[in-house]
């Protein structure tokens, strides 16, 4: 179902939400409101529908207090405090509009405009510029300083970045971009150069944005209230007219986006604040690299050919589908029922992957369906099913914000799951400690403001040895969470496991030699994981794409269970999946041995259920050469499936965990 | 595949590789410094400061918030803060290059180019103004053919304004090459300039 | 028989020639085969007499100054013969009215002791405060500071005791003491004098603060324009540490406290406490919004006690002599003494430590002797570059925080810059804006843009062709000052208006305005 974005639901409340058990009641312009302790006066006012003019405040970033537009009068407080940096207090009485405030706001705006180009009508932010809006709100009519004074209007634009422009002549030095790069993204690629009037935002890691440390996540562009940082697509096409909510297909985070459109043309992709996975953040891929969808190299008409050496022939859809179907049939008649199959994509919707497996099972009449998870996280599927009983991770992304110790194994979130990587770094900056187990010196090991405490750079192929060594330390040094094990785990299996890992040949001093990691580092990591508080493990393909992938996953799950790091926020076993609907495609039965809902194909009752519903899976699990299969209905059904696939709308996806 | 560029001597073990506009630092066990992909390569002689810089960084390792002391020491040793040292400093302190450059650009004390032989800072604050600092400033501009922030083309002398040297009871005052001179007069100023120009 | 002479090693004394005098003395003494022991003391703070040479006599120390190297042979002759015969003889230094009438609690040792001599310090009451603080314990010490009425000497005049109680009462794994030695105000030099001349006093004050509020580490943030203060403090810290006054067991208290000197890098705004903290953290010196206050969340997010040099240096005597002793000085809510600094166009520039309550006229005329040029005294800027220009009609205001606030002025750090009638107030108003623009951190809009616009408006005003245009610009200027005062994030922007509005109010003619226009 397409969700059209409603701008009325996206009000910037000025400062981030605060959680507190304590509620504070205050009075704003004569009206009463109750908010959690720690909320700013600005946010409290916004929640009750009162707009206090603001420029440097935005609710994705901590309050800064620099623009001085949001000044208010508070009974009993001297002067004119900034509402963004003033927390509410019980019984406070706030006035957001008074003659003095009006004068101050107008005067501050006058200063802004005295150093700003007056080209609103031809500016790319026209109609969607916060400076413009606030200037209108405060009723600025003249700039008594004139325009001949010192200004930045001649500052040169930086168009180096392929996706957005930086125009310093329009900058109001609100610092939102710098703060976004620090707080949201965690790259710290931006700073302010100089000071005072000369202050200009600078991507000072190089000569311009492209040469700097910027990773083009677009957080700064999104935060910028003016046209200073603006998408090139908006500069070229103008402001969008409507938005559709969608999900990025690039990686396993599955960021929620607003696709901002002009007619049927995409103007830009803006991360959706309400996205549970991304909370309004994105990375370069989903934010800017969507050009492939309309790339001139794309094939836009169906084509067929008989042999690989023949040229492609453009045909109609009907002809193409009929040809494909008849060829499938011919191949099966010639080479057997099991000669064809299908692979579902984890970038597709649940409905689409369901239909592919149905096509294969009912139309092709075999079980030759599989999914990318086979080569990616099928060890996760198997391993976690064996240990935890569910072949899925145990936490949401937000859980990382409650973690005290984070162990990243065989994954590089900064590059592969950038939005999650940013969230992880934010938690590290708050004080969480990081262990990295990876032969590579991934970005997290040495990231700005977020270094790993321990980097166990093991030899490739020694994952299981490492996990056993860690387990050995936990068991032999008495770091087990016995209460959790007694309550939640299989005692017999646990006993077998703990006996095994306790053996001297599994000690870090022995296995460390195999892994190429000093024993004291392994011991330190194990101790930190077991005793550091909430400890969460995040792992990726460095664990699963191995011949011992499933064993490794089980080893990881065992560590979590042994230390009681399962079952609440801030802990858990977290596979970082490849695409945003890997969960869904597995749920929908893309594995050859599982029908939709992870029901095993060998189960008679399950097969009977499916047959009753008109989908007749073949009951053979091996290649079948029979041409006289009693299942004739699959032929008709397959045609109907194809027809339905063409008309069904793009659907929602199973949120990946 | 990134290819390696100029090889320079240094006691460091950093490899900087730029790939798609992002710089990555890799610490290798191979103790050589590789620089790649910058249109204007760092001056070879700036690289020779790196051992000294690393020594400074090592000394301040345990000190929280040590960026300013480090920059001061580097400037005291070299005379300015070479741009080539920024990645080293950033890495040692776990900061981004942008942060380090932002700090350098904020504080007026920090220089990013070699200084002149003599630096003359005349105080232009209220107390000194009330005892004729403006006339002295005019005298300097006239004699040296420089503006208040100017540096002579021969690299001999730089003029800088300063706002208070703490000598206010004996205004006007200036600082020349780190030495304080107060109770100035036009004659004394001329004598001080003569001494600077003698060595030029 | 050894001749003991005393010559200051204070940087301003050196800047006016005491090094040359010292060299001349040594060479002259060699020539005469005169056994000479030259003691390098701090300065008395009677700067118009520097270089001031003193000699011990049974009646006390006699002085000669201001000396040049050429005067040295004559002085040595006089010392060996009839001292009072020399034209630069001053007689007993401590009988000089300028010095005798002062009430030196903070600068008790100025000119007497050698800055880095621990023996000198201890024999002149040094570390008595620390000893008592250890003996009575933290709670009593904090109470003494509170009861003394000590207020922040940096300029904000906030009651120190409240800050101490807040930091002491906030539990944290780490707390800090930060000494704000970024004395950037023109017309002030008391901090410099104290750090160069009596560094152990500051160290003692910080150590008492540290063990009282539970801070184990302290920083002294000194501006880079004070190189001698920096080197003196560093040496003093080493000496104090070696003697056990800093380290794991401060003065035998069982409590740990140590500290280091950090150097600024040319930013006046780092004298604002939150910008200072950012600078200590290795960042750009940007002002932080408050709340949270540094006492709760300061350096590296920890509870931090931030105080000016003089505030911390006042603590030892409060502990040594008791809160009541300190309260007995001063008037109203301004208790204790303040080292006022006379500067600018003043005949007798120097340090005058007196209890609050004397008038500005007494300070400027009785101590200062009026203008150095002899020309009529036009105005005095009290409190630094953000202070009001006070015209002579207000000179009978007592030097007291509240009394000055009542006339729209402020005491600040106690600096007084005197101007004669050749100083154009319009130029000074423009300079106030220029200084704000030069030193603005750039965070908040009124200061970042307004200070530059302020300069332009004043330029336009002064270049205006007629009365009407001048008045127009004056109105814009007043409005801008209002915006700066009420809209700025910190006192730099907030108080830059004061020198401008006071110049407009009291000296409209300098702007080419009539009094009535300037009033609008």
Q: Give the residue range(s) of CATH 1.20.1440.230 domains in chain C.
A: 425-519
Residues A175 and A213 in one domain: yes
**What was the pLDDT predicted at C520?**
56
What A93-100 contacts at long range (C-beta under 8 Å, 24+ apart), as own/partner pairs, is A93/A26, A93/A27, A94/A26, A94/A27, A94/A28, A94/A29, A94/A41, A94/A45, A95/A29, A96/A28, A96/A29, A96/A45, A96/A50, A96/A52, A96/A72, A97/A29, A98/A73, A100/A73, A100/C486
**What was the pLDDT predicted at C519?**
64
Q: How far is C343 from chain A (nearest CA, A)?
A: 28
CATH number of C3-100: 3.40.30.10
> At which of A81, A97, A113 does a domain end?
A97
> At which of A551, A578, A605 does a domain end?
A578
Q: How far is A350 from chain B (nearest CA, A)?
A: 35
In 3D space, the residue among A539, A533, A521 whose CA is nearest the CA of residue A432 turns out to be A533
Domain B118-198, CATH number (from 3.40.30.10, 3.30.420.590, 3.40.50.2000, 3.40.50.1000): 3.40.30.10
Any idea how long chain C is?
Answer: 520
> Is the pLDDT reported for residue A132 higher than 50?
yes
> Is the pLDDT reported for residue A398 higher than 80?
yes
- Give the integer Cα–Cα distance in Å for C114 and C122: 11
**What was the pLDDT predicted at B34?**
32
- Neighbour-count burial of B19, counting CB atoms closer than 10 A to its CB (0-12 exposed, 13-18 middle, 19+ buried): exposed
- Please name the chains neighbouring A, where neighbouring means 3+ C-beta pairs under 8 angstroms: B, C
Q: How many CA atoms lie within 13 A of C153 on its CB side?
A: 31
Q: Which of A103, A108, A144 sits opposite C445 (nearest CB)?
A: A108
Confidence at A390, pLDDT banded by 50, 70, 90: confident
Residues A240 and A315 in one domain: no
pLDDT in tens, A507-559: 999 999 999 999 999 999 999 999 999 999 999 999 999 989 999 999 999 99
- Tell me, yes or no, whether A598 lies in a domain: no
Residues A409 and A509 in one domain: yes
Cβ-based neighbour number of residue C88 at 10 Å: 17
Give the total number of structural domains in chain A: 4
B102·A441 Cβ contact <8 A: no
Residue C444 sits at the chain A interface (C-beta within 8 Å): yes
Angle at B82 between CA B76 and CA B85, to 5 degrees: 100
- Tell me, yes or no, whether A654 lies in a domain: no
Residues A446 and A534 in one domain: yes
In 3D space, the residue among C1, C275, C332, C10 whose CA is nearest the CA of residue C149 turns out to be C332
Residue B197 sits at the chain C interface (C-beta within 8 Å): no
> Is the pLDDT reported for residue A278 higher than 70?
yes
Q: Give the residue range(s) of CATH 3.40.50.11540 domains in chain C.
A: 118-327
Residues A446 and A408 in one domain: yes
pLDDT in tens, A291-324: 988 899 999 999 999 999 999 999 999 999 999 9
**What was the pLDDT predicted at A580?**
84
**What was the pLDDT predicted at C514?**
86
Confidence at B62, pLDDT banded by 50, 70, 90: confident
B101·A191 Cβ contact <8 A: yes
Q: Three-state SS for A377?
A: coil
Q: How far is the CA of C236 from the CAs of A331, A420, B182, C204, C243, in angstroms?
A: 93, 51, 26, 11, 11
- Tell me, yes or no, whether A619 lies in a domain: no
Q: Which of C437, C450, C489 sits opposite A66 (nearest CB)?
A: C489
Of A116-120, A493-497, A629-633, give the lowest mean pLDDT range.
Answer: A629-633
- Tell me, yes or no, whether A635 lies in a domain: no
Residues A171 and A46 in one domain: no
Residues A33 and A66 in one domain: yes
Q: Three-state SS for C242?
A: helix
Q: How far is the CA of B89 from the CAs of A13, A39, A193, B36, B54, in angstroms?
A: 39, 38, 18, 18, 8
B173 neighbors B132 (Cβ within 8 angstroms):
no
pLDDT in tens, A426-483: 999 999 999 999 999 999 999 999 999 999 999 999 999 999 999 999 999 999 999 9
* A2 vs A120 pLDDT, higher one: A120
> What does the mean pLDDT of chain A come to?
91
pLDDT in tens, A200-229: 999 987 789 999 999 999 999 999 999 999
Residue C5 pairs with which residues in a beta bridge? C38, C55
Q: Which residues form the domain of A414?
A: 389-578
Contacts of A73 (CB under 8 A, 6+ apart): A80, A94, A95, A98, A100, A101
Residue B14 sits at the chain C interface (C-beta within 8 Å): no
pLDDT in tens, A618-652: 544 443 333 344 344 444 444 444 444 444 444 44
Within 8 A of B95 by CB-CB distance, chain C residues are 282
From B67, which residue of chain C is nearest by alpha-carbon distance? C282
Tokens of A476: 């032999």
C365 neighbors C394 (Cβ within 8 angstroms):
no
Residue C198 sits at the chain B interface (C-beta within 8 Å): no
Residue A100 sits at the chain C interface (C-beta within 8 Å): yes
**What was the pLDDT predicted at C517?**
63
In 3D space, the residue among C31, C41, C29 whose CA is nearest the CA of residue C2 turns out to be C29
Within 8 A of A114 by CB-CB distance, chain C residues are 449, 453
Give the A-side interface with B, CB within 8 Å.
187-195, 202-206, 210-215, 441, 443, 446, 448-449, 451
**What was the pLDDT predicted at A3?**
74
Residue B62 sits at the chain C interface (C-beta within 8 Å): no
Tokens of B88: 């080293």
B175·C225 Cβ contact <8 A: yes
B157 neighbors B177 (Cβ within 8 angstroms):
no
C298 neighbors C178 (Cβ within 8 angstroms):
yes
- Tell me, yes or no, whether A152 lies in a domain: yes
Alpha helix ranges (H) inside B20-170: 44-47, 50-59, 67-78, 86-93, 97-106, 126-129, 133-144
Within 8 A of A203 by CB-CB distance, chain B residues are 98
Q: What percent of chain A is predicted at pLDDT more than 90? A: 82
> At which of A578, A594, A622 does a domain end?
A578
* CATH classification at residue A498: 3.40.228.10
**What was the pLDDT predicted at C81?**
86
Cβ-based neighbour number of residue A113 at 10 Å: 19
Tokens of B105: 């650009």
Residue A335 sits at the chain C interface (C-beta within 8 Å): no
DSSP code per residue over C335-371:
ESEEEEEEEES-TT-EEEEEEBTBBHHIIIIIIT-S-
Within 8 A of A195 by CB-CB distance, chain C residues are 267, 284, 440-442
> Is the pLDDT reported for residue B27 higher than 50?
no
- Give the integer Cα–Cα distance in Å for C500 and A78: 22
**What was the pLDDT predicted at A392?**
84
**For chains B and C, what is the number of CB pairs under 8 angstroms?**
152
Residues A261 and A325 in one domain: no
Q: Which of B25, B38, B106 sits opposite A446 (nearest CB)?
A: B25
In 3D space, the residue among C272, C279, C277 whose CA is nearest the CA of residue C303 turns out to be C277
Cβ-based neighbour number of residue A409 at 10 Å: 24
Q: How far is B39 from chain A (nearest CA, A)?
A: 10
Q: Is C369 left (phi over 0), alpha (psi -120 to 50) or beta?
A: left
Q: How far is C285 from chain B (nearest CA, A)?
A: 8
- Tell me, yes or no, whether A442 lies in a domain: yes
Q: Are strands A454-456 and A265-271 parallel, antiparallel or unpaired?
A: unpaired
Interface of B with C in 165-194 (CB under 8 A): 165-171, 173, 175, 178-183
Residue C231 sits at the chain B interface (C-beta within 8 Å): no
CATH superfamily for domain C118-327: NADH-ubiquinone oxidoreductase 51kDa subunit (3.40.50.11540)
- Give the integer Cα–Cα distance in Å for A577 and C382: 67
Residue B163 sits at the chain C interface (C-beta within 8 Å): yes
Task: Give the helix/strand (H/E) hosting C204.
Answer: helix C199-213
> Is the pLDDT reported for residue A111 higher than 70?
yes
> Is the pLDDT reported for residue B10 higher than 60?
no
**How is chain B split into domains, by residue range?**
4-106, 118-198
- Please name the chains neighbouring C, where neighbouring means 3+ C-beta pairs under 8 angstroms: A, B
**What was the pLDDT predicted at B24?**
40
Q: Which of A71, A150, A194 sits opposite C487 (nearest CB)?
A: A71
- Tell me, yes or no, whether A320 lies in a domain: yes
Task: Give the helix/strand (H/E) hosting A261.
Answer: strand A256-262
Contacts of B26 (CB under 8 A, 6+ apart): A441, B14, B15, B16, B17
Mean pLDDT of A359-366: 93
**What was the pLDDT predicted at A637?**
40
B126·C381 Cβ contact <8 A: yes
Q: Three-state SS for A297?
A: coil
B141 neighbors B122 (Cβ within 8 angstroms):
no
Q: How far apart are the first and last CA of chain C?
A: 73
**What was the pLDDT predicted at A607?**
87
Residue B157 pairs with which residues in a beta bridge? B118
Residue pLDDT tens, chain C, 520 long:
788 999 999 999 999 999 999 999 999 999 999 999 999 999 999 999 999 999 999 999 999 999 999 999 999 999 888 989 999 999 999 999 999 999 999 999 999 999 999 999 999 999 999 999 999 999 999 999 999 999 999 999 999 999 999 999 999 999 999 999 999 999 999 999 999 999 999 999 999 999 999 999 999 999 999 999 999 999 999 999 999 999 999 999 999 999 999 999 999 999 999 999 999 999 999 999 999 999 999 999 999 999 999 999 999 999 999 999 999 999 999 999 999 999 999 999 999 999 999 999 999 999 999 999 999 999 999 999 999 999 999 999 999 999 999 999 999 999 999 999 999 999 999 999 999 999 999 999 999 999 999 999 999 999 999 999 999 999 999 999 999 999 999 999 999 999 999 999 999 999 999 877 666 5
Q: Which of A210, A441, A448 sits opposite B94 (nearest CB)?
A: A448
Q: How many CA atoms lie within 13 A of C202 on its CB side?
A: 36
**What was the pLDDT predicted at B146?**
95
Within 8 A of B101 by CB-CB distance, chain A residues are 191, 193, 202, 204-205
Q: How far is the CA of A315 from the CAs of A300, A302, A639, in angstroms?
A: 11, 6, 19
Residue A63 sits at the chain C interface (C-beta within 8 Å): yes
- Tell me, yes or no, whether A423 lies in a domain: yes
Interface of C with B in 73-102 (CB under 8 A): none
> Is the pLDDT reported for residue A373 higher than 90?
no
Residue A199 sits at the chain C interface (C-beta within 8 Å): yes
Contacts of B70 (CB under 8 A, 6+ apart): B56, B57, B60, B89, B93
If you search the block for the tokens 């800047």, which residue do you land on?
Answer: C15
**For chains A and C, what is the number of CB pairs under 8 angstroms?**
102
Confidence at B200, pLDDT banded by 50, 70, 90: low
From C493, which residue of chain A is nearest by alpha-carbon distance? A196
Residue C265 sits at the chain B interface (C-beta within 8 Å): yes
In 3D space, the residue among A57, A86, A89, A83 whose CA is nearest the CA of residue A70 turns out to be A83
- Give the integer Cα–Cα distance in Å for B175 and B178: 6
- Neighbour-count burial of A117, counting CB atoms closer than 10 A to its CB (0-12 exposed, 13-18 middle, 19+ buried): middle
**What was the pLDDT predicted at A633?**
40
The C-alpha R_g of chain A, in whole angstroms, comes to 29
CATH number of C330-420: 3.10.20.600
Residue C195 sits at the chain B interface (C-beta within 8 Å): no
Q: Which of C265, C418, C428 sits opposite B68 (nearest CB)?
A: C265
Confidence at A6, pLDDT banded by 50, 70, 90: confident
From A173, which residue of chain C is nearest by alpha-carbon distance? C443
Q: How far is B94 from chain A (nearest CA, A)?
A: 5
* A141 vs B45 pLDDT, higher one: A141
Q: Which of C291, C450, C486 sits opposite A111 (nearest CB)?
A: C450
CATH number of C425-519: 1.20.1440.230
**What was the pLDDT predicted at A93?**
98
C267·B164 Cβ contact <8 A: no
Mean pLDDT of A163-189: 97
Q: How far is A82 from chain C (nearest CA, A)?
A: 9
């Amino acid at each position: 179902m397409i969700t059209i974005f409603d701008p009325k639901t996206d009000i910037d409340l000025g400062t981030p939400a605060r959680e507190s058990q304590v509620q504070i009641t205050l009075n704003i312009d004569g009206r009463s409101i109750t908010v959690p302790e720690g909320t700013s006066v600005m946010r409290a006012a916004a929640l009750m529908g009162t707009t206090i003019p603001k420029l440097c405040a935005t609710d994705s970033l901590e309050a800064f207090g620099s623009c001085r537009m949001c000044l208010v009068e508070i009974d009993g407080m001297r002067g004119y405090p900034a509402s963004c940096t003033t927390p509410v207090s019980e019984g406070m009485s706030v006035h957001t509009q008074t003659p003095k405030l009006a004068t101050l706001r107008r005067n501050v705006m006058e200063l802004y405009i005295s150093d700003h180009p007056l080209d609103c009508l031809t500016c790319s932010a026209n109609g969607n510029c916060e400076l413009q809006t606030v200037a209108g709100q405060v009723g600025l009519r003249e700039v008594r300083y004139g325009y001949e004074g010192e200004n930045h209007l001649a500052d040169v634009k930086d168009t180096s970045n392929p996706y957005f422009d930086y125009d310093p002549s329009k900058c109001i030095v609100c610092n939102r971009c710098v703060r976004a790069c620090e707080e949201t993204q965690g790259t710290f690629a931006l700073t302010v150069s100089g000071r005072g009037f000369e202050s200009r935002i600078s991507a000072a890691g190089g000569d311009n944005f492209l040469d700097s440390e910027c990773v083009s996540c677009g957080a700064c562009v999104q935060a910028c209230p003016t046209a200073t940082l603006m998408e090139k697509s908006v500069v070229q096409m103008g402001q969008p007219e409507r938005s559709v909510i969608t999900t990025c297909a690039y990686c396993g985070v599955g960021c929620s986006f607003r696709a901002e459109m002009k007619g049927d043309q995409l103007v830009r992709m803006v991360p959706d604040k309400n996205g549970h996975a991304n909370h309004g953040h994105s990375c370069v891929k989903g934010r800017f690299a969507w050009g492939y969808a309309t790339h001139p190299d794309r094939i836009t008409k169906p084509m067929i050919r008989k042999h690989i050496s023949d040229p492609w022939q453009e045909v109609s859809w009907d002809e193409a589908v009929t040809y494909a179907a008849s060829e499938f049939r011919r191949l099966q008649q010639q080479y057997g029922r099991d000669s064809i199959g299908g692979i579902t994509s984890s970038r597709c919707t649940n409905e689409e992957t369901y239909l592919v497996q149905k096509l294969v099972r009912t139309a092709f009449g075999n079980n030759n369906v599989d999914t990318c998870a086979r080569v990616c996280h099928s060890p996760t599927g198997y391993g976690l099913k064996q240990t935890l009983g569910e072949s899925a991770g145990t936490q949401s992304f937000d859980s990382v914000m409650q973690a005290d110790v984070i162990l990243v194994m065989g994954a590089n979130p900064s590059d592969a799951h950038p939005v999650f990587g940013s969230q992880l770094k934010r938690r590290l900056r708050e004080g969480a400690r990081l262990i990295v187990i990876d032969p590579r010196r991934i970005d997290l090991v040495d990231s700005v403001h977020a270094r790993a405490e321990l980097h166990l750079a093991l030899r490739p192929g020694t994952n299981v040895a490492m996990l056993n060594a860690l387990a050995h330390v936990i068991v032999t040094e008495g770091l087990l969470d016995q209460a959790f094990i007694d309550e939640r785990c299989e005692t017999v299996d646990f006993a077998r496991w703990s006996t095994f890992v306790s053996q001297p040949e599994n000690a870090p001093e022995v296995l460390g030699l195999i892994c190429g990691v000093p024993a004291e580092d392994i011991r330190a990591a194990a101790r930190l994981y077991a005793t550091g508080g909430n400890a969460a493990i995040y792992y990726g393909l460095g664990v699963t794409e191995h011949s011992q992938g499933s064993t490794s996953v089980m080893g990881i799950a065992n560590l979590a269970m042994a230390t009681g790091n399962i079952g609440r926020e801030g802990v858990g076993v977290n596979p970082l999946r490849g695409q945003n609907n890997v969960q869904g495609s597995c749920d929908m039965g893309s594995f050859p041995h599982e029908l939709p809902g992870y029901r095993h194909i060998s189960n008679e009752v399950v097969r009977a259920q499916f047959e009753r519903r008109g989908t007749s899976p073949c009951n053979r699990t091996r290649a079948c050469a029979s041409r006289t299969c009693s299942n004739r209905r699959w032929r008709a059904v397959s045609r109907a499936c194809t027809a339905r696939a063409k008309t069904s709308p793009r659907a929602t996806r199973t949120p990946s965990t | 595949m990134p290819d390696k560029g100029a090889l320079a001597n240094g006691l460091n073990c950093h490899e900087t590789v730029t790939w798609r506009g992002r710089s990555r630092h890799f610490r290798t066990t191979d103790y050589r410094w590789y620089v790649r992909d910058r249109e204007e390569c760092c001056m070879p002689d700036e690289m020779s400061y790196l051992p000294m810089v690393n020594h400074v960084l090592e000394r301040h390792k345990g000190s929280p918030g040590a960026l300013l002391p480090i920059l001061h020491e580097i400037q005291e040793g070299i005379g300015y803060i070479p741009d080539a040292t920024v990645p080293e400093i950033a890495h040692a302190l776990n900061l981004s290059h942008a942060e380090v450059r932002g700090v350098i650009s904020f504080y007026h004390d920090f220089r990013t180019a070699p200084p002149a032989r003599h630096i003359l800072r005349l105080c232009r604050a209220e107390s000194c103004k009330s005892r004729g600092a403006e006339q002295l400033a005019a005298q300097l501009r006239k004699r040296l053919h420089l503006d208040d922030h100017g540096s002579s083309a021969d690299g001999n002398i730089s003029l800088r304004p300063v706002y208070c040297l703490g000598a206010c009871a004996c205004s006007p005052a200036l600082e020349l090459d780190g030495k304080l001179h107060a109770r100035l007069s036009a004659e004394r100023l001329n004598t001080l300039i003569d001494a600077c120009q003698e060595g030029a | 028989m050894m001749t003991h002479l005393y010559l200051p090693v204070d940087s301003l004394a050196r800047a006016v020639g005491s090094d040359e005098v010292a060299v001349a003395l040594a060479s002259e003494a060699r020539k005469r085969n005169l056994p000479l022991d030259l003691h390098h003391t701090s300065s008395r703070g009677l700067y118009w007499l520097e270089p001031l040479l003193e000699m011990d006599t049974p009646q006390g120390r006699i002085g000669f100054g201001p000396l040049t190297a050429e005067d040295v042979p004559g002085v040595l002759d006089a010392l060996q013969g009839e001292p009072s015969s020399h034209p630069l003889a001053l007689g007993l230094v401590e009988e000089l009215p300028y010095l005798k009438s002062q009430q030196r609690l903070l600068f008790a040792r100025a000119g007497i002791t050698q800055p880095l001599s621990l023996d000198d310090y201890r024999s002149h009451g040094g570390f008595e405060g620390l000893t008592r603080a250890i003996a009575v314990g933290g709670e009593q010490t904090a109470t003494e500071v509170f009861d003394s009425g000590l207020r922040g000497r940096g300029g904000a005049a906030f009651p120190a005791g409240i800050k101490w109680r807040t930091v002491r009462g906030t539990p944290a794994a780490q707390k800090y003491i930060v000494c704000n030695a970024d004395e950037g105000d023109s017309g002030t030099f008391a901090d410099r004098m104290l750090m160069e001349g009596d560094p152990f006093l500051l160290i003692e004050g910080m150590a008492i603060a540290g063990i009282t509020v539970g801070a184990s580490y302290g920083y002294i943030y000194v501006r880079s324009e004070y190189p001698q203060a920096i080197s003196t403090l560093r040496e003093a810290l080493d000496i104090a540490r070696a003697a056990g006054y800093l380290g794991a067991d401060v003065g035998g208290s069982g409590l740990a406290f140590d500290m280091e000197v950090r150097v600024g890098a040319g930013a006046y705004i780092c004298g604002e406490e939150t910008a200072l903290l950012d600078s200590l953290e290795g960042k750009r010196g940007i002002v932080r919004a408050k709340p949270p206050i540094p006492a709760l969340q300061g350096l590296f997010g920890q509870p931090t006690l931030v105080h000016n040099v003089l505030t911390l240096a006042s603590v030892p005597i409060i502990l040594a002599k008791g809160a009541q002793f300190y309260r007995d000085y001063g008037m109203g809510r301004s208790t204790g003494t303040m080292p006022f600094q006379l500067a600018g166009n003043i005949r007798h520039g120097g340090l005058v430590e007196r209890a609050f309550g004397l008038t500005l006229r007494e300070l400027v005329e009785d101590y200062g002797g009026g203008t150095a040029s002899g020309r009529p005294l036009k105005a005095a800027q009290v409190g630094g570059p953000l202070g009001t220009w006070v015209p002579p009609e207000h000179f009978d205001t007592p030097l007291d925080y509240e009394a000055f606030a009542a006339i729209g002025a402020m005491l600040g750090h106690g600096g007084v810059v005197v101007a004669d009638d050749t100083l154009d107030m319009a130029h000074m108003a423009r300079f106030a804006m220029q200084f704000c623009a030069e030193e603005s951190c750039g965070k908040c809009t009124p200061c970042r843009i307004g200070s530059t616009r302020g300069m332009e408006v004043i330029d336009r005003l002064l270049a205006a062709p007629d009365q009407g245009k001048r008045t127009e610009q004056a109105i814009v200027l007043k409005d801008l000052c209002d915006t700066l005062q009420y809209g700025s994030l910190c006192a730099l922007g907030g108080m830059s208006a004061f020198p401008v509005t006071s110049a407009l109010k009291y000296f409209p003619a300098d702007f080419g305005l009539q009094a009535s226009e300037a009033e609008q």
